[in-house]
Amino acid sequence: MSTVATKTPLKGGEFLVKETAYEDIFTPEQWSEEQRMIAQTCHDFLAQEVWPIMDRLDNKEEGLMEKVLDKAAELGLLGLNIPEQYGGFEKDFLTGMLSTEAIGAGNSFAVSVAAHTGIGTLPILYYGNDAQKAKYLPKLATGEWKACYCLTEPGAGSDANSGKTKAVLSSDGKHYVINGQKMWITNSGFAHVFIVFAKIDDDKNLSAFIVEKDFGGVTLNPEEHKMGIKGSSTRQVFFNDCKVPVENLLSTRENGFKIAVNILNVGRIKLAAAALGGAKQIINHSVEYANQRVQFNHPIGTYGAIQHKMAEQAILAFACETALYRASQNIEDAINGLIEGGMAKDQAILKGVEQFAVEAAIMKVFGSEVLDFIADEGVQIYGGMGYSADAPMERAYRDSRINRIFEGTNEINRLLTVDMMIRRAMKGEIDLLGPATKIAGELMSIPDFGSPDTALFATEKKYIKNFKKAALMVAGSAVQKLMTNLSSEQEIVMNIADMLIDVYVGESLQLRVEKLVSVKGEEACALHLDMLRTWLADSAERIHKAGKDAICSFAEGDEQRIMLSGLKRFTKTDPYNTKNARRRIAAKMSAENKYCF
């Protein structure tokens, strides 16, 4: 397999067929002092202005969420990524990701902020003309105006381009008259600006419009009653002969679907950051409670069953953080490279994120499922109190669930991950065929039983290399066997996606730990090595299960037997005492009384 270490930046999706040197990835240990200060400002804001009033927010106290957003705006938290000329701070993509993580611990407040600063503002920032930016961005940066994003309709969710909302040019040519219905619109109860997607006349594709509530013809249903994120405003929005000036068409006609796709690429990786912030806060609560709660004369955190849960929470959060900021720096580097090549900054950001849309989809799935797992285990650590609304886990559990639906369901994102990889291979952007063909030949050869490499990380790197072979073998065979029918075999596609997720996160984790050891030494990083080795042991089992399910779905006879044998070879790992590793990880957190990695 072609896995030669490289100093040149990887393209999106190339992680599967190329190796990366640890020197070439960004890790959170590299945050600058300024970036750490911005994150701390976000944490302090939550502690002072959000957490003390979460019950009031969840009860939808009239005007309260808007007031908290205004306070956040006073600190500049709504304008971190908006250019200075429009009243923002123009921080880079990576810093924006860090602030998103920090605010992510803010439950429904975090959702309101994300809807305003992300999907509500970014379409104007990235696709607006100079006049549109000058008119709207300063007010959005200062929070004077709040924004929302109107894409989903009762009959158009994952299939967004099937929306029925219509826009018709008025007889005098000065307005588009919009009629239609949108649902699940976050911030709609108090938004001044609506990014609305509609089809002009009988167009095949959506167009996008900047709609001000004061244009008239905009009405709202009452607030939705939701399972979680109760403090965020969520309503249906109706457009009844809403007259929108022609100059408020965003970008060009029929470019709305592309806008929606690209904004969702940004939203997906940012959702992973927000989920990470929420996950870390839940772990802090879990550890504190495990230290305080005494049963059978001992804190419950001293018992193996609880230690296992705490350690698993930490391993998943650490792995998520690692992969998240590896991908974020890749995006940042791609953006900077495009700018240096002469591309306008706004377009470079979109293109840079688009290049790593595979990784964004992976992180959306992984981040949201990590948060859900950590919240569920948090409830269990709290026991009966976890089920009580008087303790923090009940809200965390309910609020976490939406993230597997937001920004495209996790099922859709799994399908997209594989589809994008295959499409890029078909276009010649990634060489998947060559490595997959070599692996097919390797299945018929005698395994290499040469002397093992005893160097530090040699074993872990071998595992990662073999995991990649497993994913390539299954994906390559599925494509060859099923051809155009693969897209209809969604179970197989999701099996492959799960393998890709484990590969990407596992490699990211190995690179971060190797980088840490290179700086601090092996002894100082003993617990990080525990996390890496525990992850790899468990990952091997997951990859084997997903691969086996896929192979048994499309292969038979000798072909199936050979592939299953290869899969077993590629997912073989040496025995490792994960129980003791988890106990060591949990003991460290108990001593620190928090998530400390």
Instruction: Determine the pLDDT at residue 449.
Output: 63
Poorest-confidence range of 48-52, 443-447, 546-550? 443-447
In a domain, 114, yes or no: yes
Residue 231 lies in a domain: yes
Contact 140, 147 (CB under 8 A): yes
> 228 is written with which tokens?
């979680």
How far from each other are the two terminal CA atoms of the chain, in whole angstroms?
34
Q: What is the mean pLDDT of the chain?
A: 95
Q: Are 241 and 217 in contact (CB under 8 A)?
A: yes
Of the candidate ranges 35-44, 342-351, 508-517, the one whose mean pLDDT is the lowest: 342-351
Q: Which of 211, 234, 254 is the last residue of a domain?
A: 254
- Whose tokens are 């945050």? That residue is 31
| Section 29-53 average pLDDT | 97
pLDDT above 60 for 12: yes
* pLDDT the model gives residue 3: 43
Question: Is 553 inside a domain boundary?
Answer: yes
Across 1-5, 448-452, 556-560, 571-575, least confident range: 1-5
Do 403 and 493 sit in the same domain of this protein? no
What tokens appear for 40 in the block? Answer: 């701390």
Return the closest-CA partner of residue 64 out of 73, 76, 53, 79.
53
Q: Residue 267: inside a domain, yes or no?
A: yes
In a domain? residue 46: yes
The answer to whether the CB of 351 falls within 8 A of the CB of 493 is no
In a domain, 19, yes or no: no
Give the catalytic positions in this structure: 407
32 C-beta neighbours (distance < 10 Å), count = 10
Q: Is the separation of the CB atoms in 282 and 373 below 8 Å?
A: no
How much is the average pLDDT of 245-270? Answer: 95
Confidence of residue 160 (pLDDT cuts 50, 70, 90): confident
Q: What is the pLDDT of residue 447?
A: 67
Residue-wise pLDDT for 66-99, tens only, equals 999 999 999 999 999 999 999 999 999 999 999 9
Please identify, among 211, 236, 254, the residue that sits at the C-terminal boundary of a domain: 254
Residues 442 and 561 in one domain: yes
Q: Is residue 386 part of a domain?
A: yes
Mean pLDDT of 483-494: 94
Residue 413 pLDDT greater than 80, yes or no:
yes
Chain centroid to Cα 470, Å, comes to 24
pLDDT by residue (tens digit) across 92-107? 999 999 999 999 999 9
Asked whether residue 338 falls in the same domain as residue 427, the answer is no
DSSP state of 303: S
Residues 290 and 431 in one domain: no
- The pLDDT of residue 8 is 64
Averaged over 261-276, what is the pLDDT?
95
The verdict on 576 and 473 lying in the same domain is: yes
* Ramachandran assignment for 591, one of left (phi > 0), alpha (psi -120 to 50 degrees), beta (any other): alpha
Residues 108, 232 within the same domain: no
* CA dist., res. 520 & res. 526, Å (int): 10
**Within a 10 A sphere around the Cβ of 455, how many other Cβ atoms?**
8
| Residue among 593, 580, 544, 584 nearest 564 (CA) | 544
For residue 193, the enclosing domain spans 148-254
Least confident of 128-137, 450-459, 477-486: 450-459
Question: Which CATH number does the domain housing residue 101 bear?
Answer: 1.10.540.10
User: Both 469 and 571 in a single domain?
Assistant: yes
> Which residue did the predictor score with more confidence, 417 or 434?
417
- How much helix, strand and coil, in percent to the nearest 5, is found in the chain? 65, 10, 25
The verdict on residue 12 lying in a domain is no
Q: Are residues 288 and 351 in the same domain?
A: yes
pLDDT of residue 445: 74
Give 31-73 as a DSSP string: --HHHHHHHHHHHHHIIIIIGGGHHHHHTT-TTHHHHHHHHHH
- Which residues, at least 6 apart from 427, have a Cβ–Cβ distance to it below 8 Å? none
Same domain, 405 and 426: no
User: What CATH number is attached to the domain comprising 551?
Assistant: 1.20.140.10
Report the percentage of the chain scoring pLDDT > 90.
91
Question: What was the pLDDT predicted at 554?
Answer: 96
Checking if the pLDDT of 544 tops 80, the result is: yes
What's residue 444's pLDDT? 77
Q: Is 80 exceeded by the pLDDT of residue 239? A: yes
Q: Are residues 129 and 278 in the same domain?
A: no
The C-alpha atoms of residue 566 and residue 564 are separated, in whole angstroms, by 5
CATH number assigned to the domain comprising residue 206: 2.40.110.10
pLDDT at residue 5, rounded to an integer: 43
The total number of structural domains in the chain stands at: 4
Percent of the chain residues past pLDDT 70, beyond the cut: 98
Mean pLDDT, range 45-72, rounded to an integer? 97
Indicate whether 166 and 248 sit together in one domain.
Answer: yes
Q: Do 136 and 266 belong to one domain?
A: no
Of 200, 234, 254, the residue that ends a domain is 254
Q: DSSP character for 129?
A: -
